[in-house]
Amino acid sequence: MAERVTIIGAGITGLTSALALLEAGCQVRIIDPEPPGSGTSAANGGQLSWAFVAPLAEPGVLPQLPGWLTHADSPIRWVPRLDPALPAWGLAFLRACTRQRARATTTALLELAALGKPQLDDWRTRLGLDFDWRANGKLVVYRDAGALEKARRQAAFQRELGVEQEILDRGALLEREPGLERHRNSLVGAVWTPGEEVGDCAKFCRGVASHLENHGVSIERRRITRLESEAGRLTAWHFSDGERQQRAANETLIVAAGLASRALLAPLGIRLPLYPLKGYSLTVDLDADERLFDTSVTDAARKVVYARLGSGSNGGRLRIAGIADLDGWQARPRASRVEMLKRQASEFLPDQASRIQATDAWTGLRPATPDGRPRLGPTDIDGLWINTGHGALGWTLAPGSALATAQALSKRDIQALTKFRLSATG
């Protein structure tokens, strides 16, 4: 009898998990009250950052903490609030800010990304998924020589792990991307990573959802409000309409519901170390003949990414994304942060400034762990698994997380999940 799997969550992690499990021979269904790809997956930065996975928690952030608290235009803001979840998360974050832990996390995330990159490419080509994918490389541009030198050291470390990156001086940068010529006097160099890609995460989610439904996977627009367990074993779950559904004998429940996973699992004694990292994005329609960057570009100082999605007669769209705020559990945008992103993007792209509008702003709450590692695999409750906590790297890490989860569940081999188990990482 095929393994039965129910997945809570129809975002990028839940959908890719369903696809990997379906192809592993499992009988799969998905439960989510919202349409596929409509939450945090809806309008992210669009960058598949296979090589840029270093965690936020690293020694260099410690001197920046005062600025996160006091500077209104900081790309990362820590907004003080009376939130019982924040102190514990913050202390765990500070403990993770060591060179040893940051490098160990970087290594683990690079391995997970390397697992997912060929899997995504396989799905894209074999299933004919159209999500405005482009393999155009990425330039992370620097305004400060000291920051570029730090990036050089990080690139040297990652080169030991097989990552192909090149440090460019100003001249080589402008030769690589002539569209940055107007910023000649403010940029000192860049990190060039030829293997980086872009794609529309929401469009991918919709394509995968359609494929799943065409192959027998049901996607139910319902909300699960409570899980039930007895003697260390998952027994049932309850829906918002009052229905109680008994877990089948050979059924596994995977919670891939982003931040909602935390509240759902807490009554069972499972403490997920998640806190929302609020991100913002703006999307601009482009003309077909509009000259812009050939590559994906990240402004390192401002932590703003620019990714062109799509092409053709309408020119596609430019996704502008940035900001990482520890600002509570509400997704509503702060007008001041939207205006900051709009101002910075307009300064960087003056030719498009008139079309960069605050009214087009989107915000998403990324489920962030203190150390930057997602939490994957079985919990201490039999029949209950998790796949969440990818932070700002959900689009990048979802394929690898899905494949590792499917392999572990179908083969009963959790070796690939060892570095991401809740019991191993807290």
- Res. 116: pLDDT tops 70: yes
Query: Closest Cα to residue 309, out of 140, 130, 141, 41?
Result: 130
Q: What would the two tokens of residue 370 be?
A: 């203190």
- Predicted confidence at residue 68, as pLDDT, reads 84
Tens digits of residue pLDDT in 56-75: 999 998 898 888 878 889 99
More confident residue, 182 or 80: 182
Alpha-carbon distance of 238 to 260, in angstroms, equals 15
pLDDT of residue 310: 85
Mean pLDDT across the stretch 273-287? 95
Specify the CATH class of 50-98+130-198+275-368 in words.
Answer: alpha beta
C-alpha distances out from residue 229 to 213, 271, 282, 316, Å: 30, 16, 43, 49
The pLDDT of residue 382 is above 50: yes
The lowest-confidence range among 46-55, 76-85, 285-294, 399-408 is: 285-294
Helix (H, G, I), strand (E, B) or coil at 123: helix
The mean per-residue pLDDT over the stretch 254-282 comes to 97
Distance between CA 212 and CA 207 in Å, rounded? 9
pLDDT band with cut points at 50, 70 and 90 for residue 1: very low
What's the CATH number for 4-41+204-273+372-425? Answer: 3.50.50.60
pLDDT band at 358 (very low <50, low <70, confident <90, very high): confident
What does the pLDDT average to over 262-276? 97
- Helix ranges (H only) for 197-355 are 201-214, 260-265, 335-348
Q: Region 19-40: what's the mean pLDDT?
A: 96
Quickly tell me which residue has 């996977």 as its tokens.
Answer: 217
Query: Where do you find CATH 3.50.50.60 in the chain?
Result: 4-41+204-273+372-425
Position 195 scores a pLDDT of 96
* From-to residues of CATH 3.30.9.10 in the chain: 50-98+130-198+275-368
Contact between 233 and 381 under an 8 Å Cβ cutoff? The reply is yes
Confidence at 312, pLDDT banded by 50, 70, 90: low
Strands 304-309 vs 296-299: parallel, antiparallel or unpaired: antiparallel
Predicted local confidence at residue 423, as pLDDT: 67
CB atoms under 10 Å from CB of 408, counted, come to 19
Q: What percent of the chain has pLDDT over 70?
A: 98
**Mean pLDDT, to the nearest integer, of 343-370?**
94
**Alpha helix locations (H) across 187-265?**
201-214, 260-265
Q: What is the pLDDT of residue 293?
A: 87
pLDDT tens, position by position, 8-29: 999 999 999 999 999 999 999 9
Average pLDDT on 100-115 reads 97
Q: Are 48 and 199 within 8 A, CB to CB? A: yes
What is the average pLDDT score of the chain?
A: 94
3-class DSSP assignment, residue 154 = helix
Name every residue whose Cβ is closer than 8 Å to that of residue 178 and which is 6 or more positions away in sequence.
Answer: none
- Nearest Cα residue to 227 out of 211, 212, 239, 241: 239
Per-residue confidence (pLDDT) for residue 57, from 0 to 100: 95
pLDDT at 394: 97
Confidence band for 363, pLDDT divided at 50, 70 and 90 = very high
- What's the pTM value of the predicted model, to 2 decimals? 0.95
Give me the half-sphere count of Cα atoms (radius 13 Å) on the Cβ side of residue 305. 27
- Identify the DSSP state of 372: S
pLDDT of residue 290 exceeding 90, the answer is no
Range with lowest mean pLDDT among 188-197, 237-246, 312-321: 312-321
292 has pLDDT over 60: yes
Q: Can you tell me which residue has the tokens 């998640």?
A: 274
- Rounded mean pLDDT of 136-159? 96
Buried b (16+ CB within 10 A) or exposed e, 13-38: bbbbbbbbbbbbebbbbbbbeeebbe
* pLDDT surpassing 90 at residue 40: yes
Highest mean pLDDT among 226-230, 329-333, 415-419: 226-230
Residues 259, 410 contacting (CB under 8 angstroms): no
Query: Model confidence at 316, in pLDDT bands (50, 70, 90)?
Result: confident
| CA–CA dist 387, 409 (Å, integer) | 12
Three-class SS of residue 131? coil
